[in-house]
Amino acid sequence: MRQAPEKGDIQVNLVDKSERDRSSHEIAVAVRPKLVEIAQKFGGKVKVVEVPPGPPVWSPILAEVYGPTQEVREQAALQLREIFRETDDIVDVDLYLPEAHQKWQVVIDRSKASRLGVAYSSIVDSLATAVGGKPVSYLHSEQSKYPIPIQIQLKKVPKCVWSR
């Protein structure tokens, strides 16, 4: 869940329970709606997770839906999501469905590239950088614990005309 620069987590360590008026659960319940409201304003999602003793459990309830077709699976998942939403004490219900992605197939004329003196690997690397981005350097800042990647990537254009 945290494998992209716009995703992350914040851990809040509370003072000892003898030094506060509310339990950690009461604090989590109080901050959850406020944080969700902020996230929704920016198109984001927030999960307030109370880490139990032992290994962290990010999704205490996880349902995987199986079925013969994508349509059947999605319909069952939507119904299950509503059941979870209507159940007391279940919060932050999400549905993860595979997203449809546009696919491009690029065919490189190796002999033509060779005649032009362009290495096949250079073409592949340039295309991968253009489409997926590539860190070219890192920004080091006292405000950031980790270096911040400086990435180059082509801007998406509304319509592209290709010629040979």
CB of 94 closer than 8 Å to CB of 45? yes
The count of other CB atoms within 10 Å of the CB of residue 148 is 14
The rounded mean pLDDT for the chain is 82
Most confident of 5-9, 90-94, 105-109: 105-109
Tell me which DSSP letter residue 15 carries.
P
Tokens of 99: 């997203």
Q: Which is nearest to 94 in space by CA: 144, 47, 51?
A: 47
**CA distances (Å), origin 41, targets 31, 38, 45, 104, 117:** 16, 5, 10, 33, 51
Q: What is the pLDDT of residues 143-162, one digit of tens each?
A: 888 888 888 777 766 665 55
Q: What is the pLDDT of residues 62-86, one digit of tens each?
A: 788 999 998 899 999 999 999 998 9
Rounded distance, CA 9 to CA 39, Å? Answer: 13
pLDDT value, residue 159: 62
Tokens of 84: 């979870």
Rounded distance, CA 124 to CA 130, Å? Answer: 10
Query: Within 13 A of 3's CA, how many CA atoms are on the CB side?
Result: 1
DSSP assignment of 39-107 equals HHHTT-------PPSSS--S-S-------SSHHHHHHHHHHHHHHHHTSTT--S-----PPP-------
